[in-house]
Amino acid sequence: YEYILFVVNRLTKIRHFILIEGLLIEKLVEKFINYIYILYSLSNTIISDRGI
């Protein structure tokens, strides 16, 4: 794996670290759906730091 997708639930402060192979949007969406959406379904907002 080359990157780590880091997702934080702002309400519960639960952190998720998801290993990803590359930065292709298809792979990011696939990982997000498989690991995050299944747990929480879709929230009203998604906040990104845009890789900063």
pTM for the structure as a whole: 0.67
Q: How many CB atoms lie within 10 A of CB 40?
A: 13
Burial classification of residue 18, based on how many CB atoms lie within 10 Å of its CB (0-12 exposed, 13-18 middle, 19 or more buried):
middle
Given this model, what pLDDT does residue 31 score? 92
Given this model, what pLDDT does residue 43 score? 66
Positions in the chain whose pLDDT score sits under 70: 43, 51-52
Given this model, what pLDDT does residue 3 score? 93
Given this model, what pLDDT does residue 37 score? 87
